[in-house]
Structure 1
């Protein structure tokens, strides 16, 4: 059996089409890629996760990473191993365990035990009927069949009279029948059916071995045993009218089956690898696959078909996947790295392939060898019937109407050939082109200026086009030659030359040109860099173009191709097929000439590569229309993680950093999924995730956020709803508004204290300056009093003595006495001014000082003055009081001279905030402009404002509503009160 594990054995005619195993892209995950070993169960939940039951535990897979799910915390599950996984119609995941642990269900990011009164040694299979009840079984003796409904388990063996035997599997068909396969031994088994509404199982008459049951996509019931892999019931539960049957697989033990979308059936064997059964052209084929080639282990246990059509196989080494791939390899045509593959399309549409001294003809069911032992095939080209092949020293026509001709007398074996429209045969040689005309070979006289690398029919006439590897083509006819210049092609050094229908195509360093009878059109690689290194191109039935390029295979729709040739610098929409699509090789070396791409009559496209002949069947390329499921997989904040979080998540206080892991569960080609995320309230736009499946945010401010993820699968089908997670970052105490209010209040208090301190400092400095001024004024007053006034008085005494010496009627005496009277007035006025310079005398009784000022300033007028005070009297600062008293004197002086008033009120108002001086009269008032700016040429009002400003106070003057003028001066407590303190 191990011999079967080293190669693919095809029980069919030689060759396969894309519907064979080669039509599937294989991937495997073993322990090296993080996969668990000994996988025994597979299923997929509606959120797209692939779930695995293995000896290492329960895992879920998003196409990129395996995530272990811990068992339930119940002690019964501590050492139990998962034996089965099952996704029911409600999207719940069920897990069966051994060691009599029972079952568990996945909910809210964890597995939870589903209690069983008496659990069996293990639960191996699950099924669900329309009523929502879940059925479970195990394969040994005793209680074997269990039903879970309305929150409890029931044992159903005896109640439903299930026949004796070991249960292999369960299945529910579309008519809601529950089928059970049982085994009396490893070779003999039976089928039991519980029809809808039936009270007991019925034994089916089918002869089966010990087998698993599988439900096909059409609802049919299949088994695979020592007799055959076959359908036993149709979707209605009846015997199939036309039984579908495949030969049994030798060595297979209890195969499990899965169905692909190309009509194939995949089966496990538990020891001899994997098999695939498929019907081609009415012939039933069974292919086998073994370890070492597209399979991680021969011990294949379970198969599963996911929602995107991929086949998953569980083995004891890990996990294998077979995804329908656009690009398949013809395994029956061996690669030829020594001489290279050669392709040619016959007029009827058949594609011929020369490889490894053999010639093959492709057919819908595969490729058939039509010649072997040919020796090195130097050239292969299309003939009027069949193809021409250069080998064995001759050029031979294969296909309809065989013919063989000698080669021209040249020292080099031809590597290029072409048959023109007139049926003439052309071959290349050593710096020459040979033409067979009238049954003879002759050397064409054209100067090649190089080697003839490629020969194709000339779309414009009866000759051919020659690529010499330079920047121009040669057009040869039997009569002469013509150069198709570089200016017309504009491609630089030419790479390859081929024909498609009635057009010739040539590729070069800067793009591709199409040569037709109507002219030359170009596609530029400047806007289409994928066009660099084009080796060939063919059209499918729809007219879409398939290019073999350096990066892989590129498909361009017929409409895009026409637009590109009409607009040479246009950017073409295209799809590139690379390694994930089955193109995991490169094109052949440039030294291997001839056609590298060819299309067959049935629409398939063939490509010559280093790995062999690759094939694309456009009819089998289906667009994946399944929007990729998107989930929030894990949220980590601080030391805490939450798997599958709820739609609304509130973080713990003090946490401002968060990591959000998400999954895009389009498992076909995860690397090509396009994913974008954003955190509304933080991000200004969407962020492309690339291959990342995690987003991290730090220093989030308290508030509410919405995290969103959207994705598109490789075919551009979007899930724009995606997944979302509302996140609340709660504020800590120091981030809440009461704390902020306290901080604001504290800041206000600090500012107030700072203001008070600053005010005291400024007041102290101002008082110091005022005190200095006051002392200077007192000094000046003393000096004037002690010097000037006394000197004047002394001088007046001398004048008085001189006057007394004169006769009483002397005219000079009268003049001297008048001058002395005037001098007395000056001395008296001087004394008054000196008193004004020393107003600090009124500090102990400001009201008396104001009365004295009023008496002096109002003398000679009819104005009656009222002096009063209010509030608690406080000791005043000398410097500030001096400024305030000076303002009062100036106001009263103006009242006496300008107000025409009868009464004036002078009031001092003591307050905690400061002292207010109010002077109000009932006179004629004051114009608004005079109150604002003062009289032109007078400095009384500006001076009073300056005095108020010097003590940090305010000065307001204006007309009273009831008539007269009001002057209000306010001095702050810090300035006016001695010590600077206000009332508290």
Structure 2
């Protein structure tokens, strides 16, 4: 809201995008006019009426229907029962005490809206005419309706219309009820009032320069008791309150003479006023042709709206003034307490640095690249290198003891007199002129302090003192200095903070609790506490209980305050502490901050200000001194990355108003339950889809407020959202629920506005406790029946199983007896076979042995003829072969019946194979073959020596037997992980795939044939396999393309 408390106050100039709005002012206080058009979602941009209801929504009457506005979103109001109204050109809006919202149309009569339903009134119901221009209620159950054919009144209780015939045919543009509850009409034929007799009478408006009655466009009751009258081409009138109540039949001349009248000669730019409103401070806002006018009773201030016509005005509950236009959309006038000085006001560069106000009241601003600016009553003037500056990058500026201006640039430290003439005789001759200075300060003793990138310099007359890092300074770059109440020098440096008291220097760094080593500002509060603002670590409070070594404690109230970077701090007259940062300006009551620093659990209220409050940039600058000033008028000036901002702390004195939180209603399964029906809301069974619509109405600044909500019984925690206005829930179970929503300012704080609704979802009959109890009973009965049936079935099944087990037991017993008989018969048969075999072998072995003996004797005769010797040799060979076959047959029989238990002992396999090889070489020589033995390990194994020799004798003899003469038999010993591996290879015809399948079978004949006519019983490999496995080993053979055969024996090594 703009408050014009002095006649000399005029609004400042502002330009809008869609149209040109110019506001003339002689003050720096800003006023912004915000617009909503089609691009912002406004469905129709010609607004004839603006009205705020008890629900705090703004309703807009347009040329195409009624629109609801919650500060951020627009929504058309469409009745459910009459979606297509006879006429959608809305010309009047009013809400009566029964909650009905009435809308007058241009040809469709009167429409009453309540709970989504519409009621129509037109000439058939007694309305004077169907073109309705204005509406108002008297607060006593009557709605007054001004039409193009006179005035009608509606009895809200009986819903009956009455028309006053004495003004029939007049066009009633406006109707109002004053403080004395008298009804006034503004018509195309002057001003009328309702007399004591119940008849409307014409009020005698003084005619100055006109012959006919002026057209009255609008009436506004005054809070002072009078009546404001806006006319067509006749300016503004004010009827003071009449002391005589009721009014006399004829107005006294003294009263007529006291009527106020303002026209063009009094400051109006045009004598026609379309609409008006009196705000809560008694200021009159007028809608003129092409302008909005603010009148304080003496002076008119114009907000020019070129190229558009203003049709309507309204003041909402927050004090904000709104106006609607013809084709230009909706506007609101927003006060901006923060003023700017940027490129638009004459700055050549954006980034501003240090500043100072000198003893003459002139302000000097340093800029990054734009030189130095002087700002006084003569305006803004810029100084650059062309005027004598050593560089156009200026870090800061200060005033010297003689009133000279000291300027710290990128290149050097310059000094100028008041006429900006260079002075080279001021600086101390030993002062390094080309150093970079960030701080210029004159203390109470008239000493000059210079903070630079090489430490701190003090100039006291002719004496120059330097303090650097080598002297205990936390950092060489010194950017801020404060002289406290004890005349101590408090410093902010690139390595921390420092306190200089006489010759003693105390430093406070990260090692002493400072949250960040880069200190930006040092501040002393009214309670003598010392605060340090840092770049990245927020705010810290010094603890000086140990005066020799102070410590710091970080102060963090919540995630939003204080900001990470604090450039500057100051205290205003109201006890508020102001902070600048790269995220805007912050304000907090100092006592609250001091208490919260000791007890973070204390709720803390603070405010932040940024671009939404008029700042040209929210990124303030720091790292130099001064990084802000308070001028002689207590106005605060701050540098930003896009110019200067300034404000008076008193501009923010008003308390921030909480948003009006309002629940519009609930939509359940596509059925809408409006706000008026939410008390004790009971929803039918099957309600599963819920849309809860609400609004956080803050027309002054919607972006400054946020909401959080929670559905008890569903949500475990609060859900925060800045932009939501509708919450959806699905598949809620039957039961009681409470939906709570809270709104709070974006500035933070413990105070929240809260509204809630409670509702119950009824269950289906099968979800009720009675039904569930019945189901439990039925279930128990069914369970008992099922148990009884199952028990009977189980008993029958158990009997069946018992019979089955008895039957199967008998069958098994019978099979066992038959198997025993079979085993006994088999045992007898095997014994008989074994006995028979032994008898046969015995009967064969004796004569064969005798034949062998006789043939041996014959061969021992020296005189035996060669022919006979050959025969004897063959007899001897055949007899030996028969004895060998008999022996193999006996051994095979032994392995079939019972394997002999091996006699295991630890042996070195390499030693045994070397001994046995000598025997095999003798046998091989008979066929001119050679046996080669190769060993790669000792391979100590646990074996039965006799059985193992029998294994290798069989394998080597087979190799000799099936290999042609003059070939090699190879025996190789290797050691694998945990095993000894012996390979016996020959160069015979090898093995076929069919041979491999039956290789270790009993009495198997292979495809390979002995090469020397030796006999083969087919039992050797069978015996080998039995003996190897008997000793825990494995045996297998390999043969590739019938290129000989290799047999492998793997035996486990002996664990040592």
* TM-score after normalising by structure 1: 0.62
SS of the equivalent of 1:726 reads strand
The aligned residue for residue 104 of structure 1 is 111
Contact 1:275 1:288 survives alignment (8 Å): yes
The aligned residue for residue 340 of structure 1 is 352
| Deviates most, 119-128 or 255-264 | 255-264
Contact 1:233 1:240 survives alignment (8 Å): no
| 2-structure distance, mates of 1:501, 1:397 | 34
Matches within 5 A, 1:208-607: 211-216=217-222, 220-223=226-229, 232-234=238-240, 248=267, 250=269, 254-259=273-278, 265-269=284-288, 272=290, 274-276=292-294, 284=299, 286-288=301-303, 290=305, 298-315=308-325, 316-324=327-335, 327=338, 329=340, 337-338=349-350, 340=352, 342-344=354-356, 359-360=374-375, 368-369=377-378, 372=381, 379-381=396-398, 390=407, 394-396=415-417, 408=427, 410-411=433-434, 416-426=439-449, 444-447=465-468, 454=479, 456=481, 458-459=483-484, 467=492, 469-473=494-498, 484=507, 486=509, 490=514, 492-497=516-521, 506-509=532-535, 510-512=537-539, 522=552, 524-526=554-556, 530-563=562-595, 574-583=606-615, 585-590=617-622, 593-599=624-630, 604-607=635-638
Contact 2:215 2:232 survives alignment (8 Å): yes
The aligned residue for residue 727 of structure 1 is 760
| CA deviation vs aligned residue, 1:16-64 (integer Å, no higher than 9, x gap) | 33xx515x8x464644345543222211111222212223422222334
Alignment match of 1:21 (pick from 15, 31, 34):
31
| 1-structure distance, mates of 2:749, 2:627 | 30
The aligned residue for residue 934 of structure 2 is none
| 2-structure distance, mates of 1:233, 1:319 | 31
Contact 2:172 2:188 survives alignment (8 Å): yes
The aligned residue for residue 1010 of structure 2 is none
**Alpha-carbon deviation of 1:240?**
11
| 1-structure distance, mates of 2:194, 2:171 | 17
Q: Which runs of 5+ in 2 are unaligned?
A: 1-12, 208-213, 244-254, 385-391, 809-1056
| 2-structure distance, mates of 1:545, 1:2 | 31
Alignment match of 1:134 (pick from 143, 146, 149):
143
**Alpha-carbon deviation of 1:550?**
2.7
SS of the equivalent of 1:170 reads strand
The aligned residue for residue 66 of structure 1 is 74
| 2-structure distance, mates of 1:381, 1:284 | 42
| 2-structure distance, mates of 1:696, 1:725 | 16
Matches within 5 A, 1:44-123: 44-71=52-79, 73-74=81-82, 77-99=85-107, 101-114=108-121, 116-118=125-127, 120-123=129-132
**Alpha-carbon deviation of 1:469?**
3.4
**Alpha-carbon deviation of 1:230?**
5.8
| 1-structure distance, mates of 2:398, 2:598 | 31
| 2-structure distance, mates of 1:456, 1:721 | 46
| 2-structure distance, mates of 1:256, 1:656 | 49
Q: Which runs of 5+ in 1 are unaligned?
A: 185-189, 292-296, 362-367, 777-984
| CA deviation vs aligned residue, 1:500-530 (integer Å, no higher than 9, x gap) | 7998865324344679999768562555653
| 1-structure distance, mates of 2:599, 2:757 | 44
| Deviates most, 148-157 or 690-699 | 148-157
Count of residue correspondences = 737
**Residue 568 and residue 648 in structure 1: after superposition, are their counterparts in 2 closer, same or farther (change >3 A)?**
closer
**Alpha-carbon deviation of 1:545?**
0.4
CA RMSD of aligned residues (A): 5.2
**Residue 12 and residue 80 in structure 1: after superposition, are their counterparts in 2 closer, same or farther (change >3 A)?**
closer
**Alpha-carbon deviation of 1:97?**
1.4
* TM-score after normalising by structure 2: 0.58
Contact 1:109 1:644 survives alignment (8 Å): no
- 1:640 correspondence with 2:671: yes
**Alpha-carbon deviation of 1:290?**
4.9
**Alpha-carbon deviation of 1:775?**
12
| CA deviation vs aligned residue, 1:686-718 (integer Å, no higher than 9, x gap) | 65565433343333344x524333434438697
SS of the equivalent of 1:559 reads helix
Contact 1:432 1:451 survives alignment (8 Å): yes
Contact 2:23 2:304 survives alignment (8 Å): no
| 2-structure distance, mates of 1:111, 1:214 | 29
- 1:201 correspondence with 2:213: no
**Alpha-carbon deviation of 1:458?**
3.2
| CA deviation vs aligned residue, 1:629-658 (integer Å, no higher than 9, x gap) | 432423231x43344462344545434333
SS of the equivalent of 1:77 reads coil
Matches within 5 A, 1:809-888: none
- 1:608 correspondence with 2:639: yes
**Alpha-carbon deviation of 1:608?**
3.0
Matches within 5 A, 1:553-952: 553-563=585-595, 574-583=606-615, 585-590=617-622, 593-599=624-630, 604-609=635-640, 610=642, 612-618=644-650, 620-624=652-656, 628-637=660-669, 639-644=670-675, 646=677, 647-670=679-702, 673=705, 675=707, 677-679=709-711, 691-702=723-734, 704-714=735-745, 722-732=755-765, 734-735=766-767, 747=779, 750-751=782-783, 754-765=786-797, 767-768=799-800
| 2-structure distance, mates of 1:91, 1:341 | 57
| 1-structure distance, mates of 2:620, 2:227 | 47
Contact 1:346 1:383 survives alignment (8 Å): no
| 2-structure distance, mates of 1:456, 1:74 | 73
| 1-structure distance, mates of 2:803, 2:601 | 91
The aligned residue for residue 210 of structure 2 is none
The aligned residue for residue 929 of structure 1 is none
| 2-structure distance, mates of 1:285, 1:394 | 48
**Residue 411 and residue 490 in structure 1: after superposition, are their counterparts in 2 closer, same or farther (change >3 A)?**
same
Matches within 5 A, 1:137-156: 137-138=146-147, 140=148, 142-143=149-150, 146=153, 148=155, 150-152=157-159, 154=161, 156=163
The aligned residue for residue 835 of structure 1 is none
Q: Quick check: which has more Rg, 1 or 2?
A: 2
| 1-structure distance, mates of 2:216, 2:340 | 36
| CA deviation vs aligned residue, 1:815-834 (integer Å, no higher than 9, x gap) | xxxxxxxxxxxxxxxxxxxx
| Deviates most, 79-88 or 428-437 | 428-437
Contact 2:193 2:203 survives alignment (8 Å): yes
| 1-structure distance, mates of 2:691, 2:272 | 47
Contact 2:497 2:507 survives alignment (8 Å): yes
| 2-structure distance, mates of 1:242, 1:436 | 71
Query: Which structure has the higher relative contact order (CA within 8 Å, separation 6+)?
Result: 1
